[in-house]
Structure 1
Amino acid sequence: MLKIAFDPLYVHPVPVGHRFPMLKYELIPEQLVYEGTVLPNAFFRPHEVDEHYITLAHQITYWEKLKNLNLSTKEIRRTGFSLSKLLVYREISIVQGTIECCDHALQDGIAFNIAGGTHHAGSNWGEGFCLLNDQAIGAHYLLSQKKAKKILIIDLDVHQGNGTADIFKSEQRVFTFSMHCQRNFPFRKEHSDLDIGLPEGVGDEEYLGILEKNLEALFNQVKPEFVFYLAGVDVLETDKLGWLSLSKPGCKTRDEIVFEYCRRFGVPVQVSMGGGYSTHIKDIVDAHCNTFKAAIDKLY
């Protein structure tokens, strides 16, 4: 049965100025159920996280400062949020949701976190609305529990997964792949195992061709036992911050290509939703819901 991590904390502790992009976390479950894509019992609320797994991906000093609200003013500014206890709890819930999704994916082939994709959080920093890196922590969970020996992270958010690249720069068991808009945030890029920086304005045909060519090579080269997929929809032409030009059908095809390779190679996949900043919330929610539909079509 498809399992989807969702916690009301994903929406409510976020400062008012950031509520619009966060509203999607409330609307996505409602639309998925309304359309009949999933049943209400597909959703689960994450349990309490074991801090040990956080410190496998993040330096203990950073985690202790974050947990105790002791980040400096400069460090807080870099996150883009106003730091609070509830905000930290939200990040912890997202992390635990992804950890639990790892186990569900191992059992069922795929599992989703309604939030997550916090790929700008590095080993000792938060950045760009990311405080803890949920998929990096999930990958370390799998490795430490010996549930996977080789992991592929497919990051198709419009922004480079700089935090993920930093965390795994010396870890041979995790291959990081980021395909993003080169001139977009973050302006100081880290080095993923494979980075594809696209020029502004790339549309469906070019984007999908580049993606398929590289996934074919990566699945054959890496031979992953587990995949993390960051399915940001800020690649849409309607996105205010993205600078790429994918249509909604093109974005869904992107997802279908990823899931088709996971199906073909028999690899379980955990999906975190990543960014989306289109002017109209309907465009964001529709595109995210299409990711679920693509997964069901390809993997169920």
Structure 2
Amino acid sequence: MRQDILKSNTTMESIVNSEIYPIHRMADPQTLQRIASARSELASVGACRFPQFLSPEGLSRCRQDAIALESQAHPSNNQYTPYYGQPDDSYPAGHPRNATVRFAVRYVSRKLISSDSPLRQLFEGDDLLTFIRDLLPGAPLYRYSDPRGSLNYTVMARNDQLGWHFDACELVASILLRPAETGGDFEYIPAVRSSEDENFPSVESILNGNDGQRIAVSFQPGDMVLFRGRHSLHRVTPVEGGTTRLMALMSFDNVEKAPLRDAPDDLLPP
């Protein structure tokens, strides 16, 4: 058992920038300070950023892994509602349930990512999950159980974009591996809806371009952003230039066994 713990810690230290984020030592004062700060940000604006979260080695390995799998990424390029569905014409024209945005992105599914890859080790190990759970006190949190959307690399090339949408899970940890030359910016509007109120008028207004309250998140390679997107609209602006934008996504939910997402086949990897 002791050897397993030492191996886990050694692996985590090689992936995560443990000098800044010693997440394998939860009692460390530095870790506790990071947790307190991030907890406040998540509560107030629904997102928090951890600069240089990956170590240089971890970033390099994840990026090379994503590049190696890029050609196998599942393509999606279509128009869907912000709720990952087909428009419902029982609603009036312009209603969010009957309005579409563009989803143009390619996904590398979890089943293609090797079990010994640094991304899977990070996602499937206990250290990151324990760390994130401490940021959301009083709420259960589990690795997202949908195999298509729990762990992915995303690939976005010239003109690819993700329109305004909500997430199906509670929280996503996003790590930038390689930025686009231009564009590919992550923007969000916090707390647009709630469990009690879909707030369709505000969603419709945002879809019509009244999005001046949007917040842009600045990413650098190796940064991790935690984002609660179930109730916050968010998007990725169109990518420009010849360099594909590569991200690693790790998803978490507040139920242990989430139902499979009822999403179009071309929107998620098989």
TM-score (norm 2): 0.31
Structure with bigger helix share is 1
Structure with the greater alpha carbon radius of gyration:
2
